[in-house]
Amino acid sequence: MTGHVIPSAKHCLNENLGQTKEFDIHAMRFLSYGGKPLLSIFCAYGETCTRAPGAPMIDIDLRGRRLKADVDDMVGVKDRVASERIFLHDGTVIVPGTRAANVGVDLQSMTSAHETYARLDCRQSRAACGNGQVATISRKAPPYEATRHIVQRIKVRAGWLGVQMVGIGNTLRNSVVEVGSRHAVALFGFGSIIENNTIIVHGEGKPAADDGAIALWDGNGAVIRNNRFIYKGPAKHAPPAIRLVDSAGVALEGNTFEGFSQIVAQTGASSYSDKQ
């Protein structure tokens, strides 16, 4: 059984959600779900989900419940309407698989697919950049929205990707993200905060250029602090613990690393400080 949320102030999950394998006797194969989420955030037909500035966060309290898929091509929680300020917390998401459609938590919000030169002063926009720096990028990048999502006290076990968020000022906190693949967390946009998490990577699959237990794209002013990084795969295939792509002024503080041969890999206009 799957579920859905229509954006408003408060939602509570009162039962576990799950999807078992189903066999199509006519096609003589198991059904494919192609990235269908166990829990969707979307607008009902004929309704508008436009929210006024300053509206309360979309509080999705999983209340300790479990979202679990037995099939290998499902998403745990997915935002389908480019919402802002989602607070997802206190539950478990289990989505096995090896396909790109397989993501534990997927919160995306973008104003446009077109490229544009972007410059954001996080202090003026009320989207905190973590260390207070002005988030400026020099290359073409999408115009990220000030989403300010918070994912907190979530346990994710995923085959492909654990948590993905797109937007400005997003936070992953006090969670456990474990993946079978080579990338656990992918964040796109300025001012992310990743703190007090345990990130476990098993390193399955072929090495790729964008591998990283945590990968930031356009992540200027991000803060990565007090996280525990654990790699459990073959030593020669270990990805970087942190990959920065056009992410400048990233602050690392108090993180620990087990099994990683490379802590930070940088691409493009990236830079960081390490206060370990």
136-176 pLDDT tens trace? 444 455 678 888 999 999 999 999 999 999 989 999 999 99
Give the pLDDT mean for 185-189.
Answer: 94
Alpha carbon distance 209, 260 (integer Å): 16
**Phi, psi torsion values for 158, nearest 5 degrees:** -135, 155
For the CA atoms of 160, 166, 171, 176, what is the dihedral angle to 10 degrees? -10
pLDDT of residue 13: 87
pLDDT of residue 51: 60
Question: Mean pLDDT over all residues of the chain?
Answer: 80
pLDDT of residue 31: 56
pLDDT of residue 53: 61
* CA 65 vs CA 47, 52, 93, 192, 225: distances in Å: 28, 30, 9, 26, 27
Whole-number percent of the chain with pLDDT over 70 = 74
The DSSP result for the chain, as a single string, is --EEE-SSSEEE--S-EEE---EETTTTEE---TTEEEEEE-PPTT------TTPPPEEEE-TT-EEEESSSSEEEEEESS--SSEEEEEEEEEE--SSTT-EEEEE--BS-SS-EEEEE-HHHHT---SS---EEEEEEE--B-----EEEEEEEEESSEEEEEESSS-EEES-EEEESSS--EEEESS--EEES-EEEE---S---TT--SEEEES-TT-EEES-EEEE-S-GGGPPPSEEEES--SEEEES-EEES-S-SEEEESS--EEE--
* CA 260 vs CA 125, 149, 190, 210, 225: distances in Å: 37, 29, 26, 16, 17
pLDDT of residue 209: 80
Could you report the per-residue pLDDT of 235-258, keeping only the tens digit for each?
Answer: 888 899 999 999 999 999 999 999
Whole-number percent of the chain with pLDDT over 90 = 47
Give the pLDDT mean for 71-100.
Answer: 87
Alpha carbon distance 111, 141 (integer Å): 12
pTM to 2 decimal places: 0.83
Greatest mean pLDDT among 73-87, 110-124, 238-252 lies in 238-252
Q: Please check the confidence at residue 229 and state whether its pLDDT lies above 90.
A: yes
Q: How many CA atoms lie within 13 A of 262 on its CB side?
A: 15
